Structure 1
């Protein structure tokens, strides 16, 4: 290919009357090339090969086209690298180089972009009024929690008018996580928009019909009714219908999650993410109103948002059976419940960070949710009625190993010492918590310890005395002290008595 300077020189010398043969000899070019340079309009001389020979790819061109087409249809995260496509071709007998495959893929992609009959998407810019809508989506990110690499699920919420973003990380992409993300996002924004735009995720949409018709999940509709929002689902595989949050996923991944984040817990990670959302809004200019920041746009939009009166009670309920050891199996872990629920069916309400176990209308257990496997989460107080009947289990019972007792009970146990008899005495005091409150028992223990009597009999006697009803107070007034029949002063009675004694 000739450079522009050479083409200009050829054309200038030819215009001066120099023969083509002499120009070709001086510039060491073929006469054919000189003629093409002379005929080129305005010095443009581009060489285009009519037929591109593909000695290595030729037999595998059809297969490579199929691989490239399938790869283009995948999501951005799941697309194969060119090195992987080259490796797949080599397994089928291809002997060409990686560069040949890469160059062909580049030309193939360029041809598809230029093809007017190809599937080239075109879009229409959208505008939203303040408080009109928000967009929701999930993404999967790689982080390190407590020293362990983990792929987490990140909820993304974006207000369409102000472009304010909210990001929160979860261990899973379940319905209770969805509810929690909405409650926290609306609290972060300071209100609720009128409409929510979603894709067809299973936690929200049960059935997809033709067009925009959808059958939403019942609990999801209850949440939408609570916040007074209108849910709208996108068309299948039409991410551009919620393009703002789709772009947010890529932006947040590059700005927040790269390089890989390292935190001790999800609480620390989410606290940092919320602070980053505020910092980003304070420094990021609004894409359409460049003179203000996203934070200023959010303040202006907040006036148009609906007030959030209370967060939605976002739980997922399921029914479980309680075993003879006061345990239920939930989410591949075992949790303890009160002994009164043994061998009965209970309802488990799973929240994003905790579970609540109910027996009818009574709560018989509440635990922090654990997302690992094969873990036993026990509350020793659930087993107290059983321990009162079997005090020998205090030494080897799994729930009581490493029991973090209140200070007064810990001090009493040290005073009582060790051994079977000491355990029985201590369990007698513990059993009093079932009838008296823990605070009352602790007060009785402290009173006994201050008196120097670390004995179960003394403590139970103090509790019994405190349970007795107090004696009514007697109020004495001067009227009460007045005599009903006041005595009459008669000194003559003494004279009569004296006369009787004298006569005697």
Structure 2
């Protein structure tokens, strides 16, 4: 089929005086084609209403349709191309035609199979979209691939991004709690793909079984968890585009930071700067539209959410309990007992008897022991050899004065007695802070009498001194005087008889055992006032 340029060239040659036969011979077309070009300045449109006949390929169309139907359930990157279908037809079905009929047929079929969409618009405050992106950052230890959680409001396109050590459930809980605090409000819905850390089971349609801790997050902040259909990320296009912004704008060039905290400061600045831009066909900035999102959003909860996952375990003979492939120590009195382990994104807490008994920095390694030397002080006196042979004490980085103390005690009392005295000093760390014990040891070494009794006395004196030290705020509060309450003012609130006799007051005075002391009566009044919901203090 001739193009418009070819038609123009034919007409120019005819204008220059060439005949139809001369133009046909020069350009390689038939005289009939030259006459069509001279009669029409442009090629006529293709008016065929039926597909071009393909007598050789026609019997193979059903085979190609079966291949395309099977591709609907195959991974996107493992579907047939036109070339692959052509090769299969030749090798498996002895197709003798050319490639072009196959290509034209696939083009028509795929055009008819393409999905179409209805334009959507979301109300302010209605929903957020969540997803993870991944970027490389340069830290002092080298280049690191970091997962970044992104939340974006569907109406305003206002983003939030936070770098996390993993994509586990506790990291998602932590990141979403930080996002809601950053936004200052909570959407009615949060849309995800179908990560197993959020939806532990994908049912038919949009039926999902939520992870118990994510369900607790939804209940705490009063939002609904929503999920896209499998393999349809187009249902949350806002956050998908924000992932591209993360990779191409916020992390280009590659950020050079000290740690994840510094990276998160950079990402927060990028999120705030994104509010000054406009998106798509909107004439208003993201920040202006975000004010409407925030006005329609739900309020934050008054108490913080505990962004952790729970586990249970039994403490073994080494005073450790297993969690996420590692073992964490607890104090001696909780050995051989069942405990609850809380896994946060940055720490691990161990709970027994409804209280936290140990806290450790979270380890993301494998088969590691995270031990606190203070947890083993109770058995150190019974097994003093562990002081030099157990890694928990051998690698314990104490101030240099402790080494000087042990040397002095062993020199004066002998190796065995000196070590036992030194162990008793270490056991003081269960009562006092490391700073107080270090100061006490320093003072007693300087005076030449570093004994357990003298160090204990000095540490107690240091604690008392720090407790009695008054801050400027406490000093100002100590100068405030509160006058004693005048209970007679409350008598005016009591009902009186027409004769002016206060029956309630006289009845009250006649009852024996009523508290008459003003301070006691005032305290009782405060109790009654606190228990009544409708009273107001003046």
TM-score clears 0.5: yes
Counterpart for residue 121 of structure 2:
126
| Deviates most, 147-156 or 183-192 | 147-156
Distance 2:410 2:65 in 1: 79
Which of 319, 324, 338 aligns to 2:331? It is 338
Helix, strand or coil: the match of 1:389? Answer: coil
Which of 378, 395, 404 aligns to 1:402? It is 395
Q: CA 1:15–1:464 in 2, change beyond 3 Å: closer, same or farther?
A: closer
Superposition RMSD on alpha carbons, in Å?
4.5
Where do 1:235-314 residues align within 5 Å?
235-258=229-252, 261=255, 263-282=257-276, 284-290=277-283, 292-308=284-300, 309-314=302-307
Counterpart for residue 529 of structure 2:
none
Say if 2:315 and 2:321, in contact at 8 Å, map to a contact too: yes
Q: CA 1:69–1:164 in 2, change beyond 3 Å: closer, same or farther?
A: farther
How big is the shift at 1:147?
Answer: 4.3
How big is the shift at 1:430?
Answer: 1.3
Mapped pair 1:423 → 2:419: yes
Counterpart for residue 10 of structure 1:
10
Q: CA 1:3–1:206 in 2, change beyond 3 Å: closer, same or farther?
A: closer
Distance 2:401 2:120 in 1: 68
Distance 1:311 1:241 in 2: 31
Where do 1:108-147 residues align within 5 Å?
111=108, 115=111, 117-129=112-124, 131-143=125-137, 147=141
How big is the shift at 1:356?
Answer: 0.5
Distance 1:318 1:342 in 2: 17
Q: CA 1:451–1:174 in 2, change beyond 3 Å: closer, same or farther?
A: same
Q: Which runs of 5+ in 1 are unaligned?
A: 95-99, 468-504
Mapped pair 1:21 → 2:11: no
Distance 1:369 1:378 in 2: 12
Helix, strand or coil: the match of 2:316? Answer: coil
TM-score (norm 1): 0.72
Which of 316, 319, 322 aligns to 1:323? It is 316
Distance 2:182 2:255 in 1: 22
Q: CA 1:423–1:298 in 2, change beyond 3 Å: closer, same or farther?
A: farther
Distance 2:106 2:349 in 1: 54
Counterpart for residue 374 of structure 2:
381
Say if 1:135 and 1:158, in contact at 8 Å, map to a contact too: yes
Q: CA 1:221–1:270 in 2, change beyond 3 Å: closer, same or farther?
A: same
Q: CA 1:191–1:414 in 2, change beyond 3 Å: closer, same or farther?
A: farther
How big is the shift at 1:429?
Answer: 1.1
Counterpart for residue 441 of structure 2:
445
Offset from partner CA, 1:273-332 (integer Å, 9 cap, x none): 2232223333x2244542x43234334543443332233112111112222222223222
Distance 1:297 1:185 in 2: 18
Say which one has the larger Rg.
1
Counterpart for residue 352 of structure 1:
345
- The alignment of Structure 1 onto Structure 2 pairs a total of residues equal to 445
Counterpart for residue 212 of structure 2:
218
Helix, strand or coil: the match of 1:42? Answer: coil
Distance 1:144 1:82 in 2: 40
Q: CA 1:296–1:404 in 2, change beyond 3 Å: closer, same or farther?
A: farther
Helix, strand or coil: the match of 2:396? Answer: coil
Where do 1:178-217 residues align within 5 Å?
178-217=172-211
Over 6 Å off, 4+ runs: 15-18, 48-52, 62-65, 80-83, 103-109, 463-467
Counterpart for residue 369 of structure 1:
362
Distance 1:104 1:250 in 2: 38
Say if 2:4 and 2:43, in contact at 8 Å, map to a contact too: yes
Distance 2:256 2:102 in 1: 37
| Deviates most, 397-406 or 446-455 | 446-455
Say if 1:8 and 1:43, in contact at 8 Å, map to a contact too: no
How big is the shift at 1:211?
Answer: 4.5
Distance 1:299 1:328 in 2: 48
Which of 158, 163, 173 aligns to 2:152? It is 158
| Deviates most, 242-251 or 417-426 | 417-426
Counterpart for residue 37 of structure 2:
37
Q: Which runs of 5+ in 2 are unaligned?
A: 93-97, 464-538
Say if 1:136 and 1:198, in contact at 8 Å, map to a contact too: yes
Distance 2:296 2:447 in 1: 66
Distance 2:398 2:462 in 1: 23
Offset from partner CA, 1:246-273 (integer Å, 9 cap, x none): 3322332332345555555333333332
Offset from partner CA, 1:223-251 (integer Å, 9 cap, x none): 11211223333333333332222332233
Counterpart for residue 473 of structure 1:
none
| Deviates most, 204-213 or 161-170 | 204-213
Distance 1:146 1:361 in 2: 40
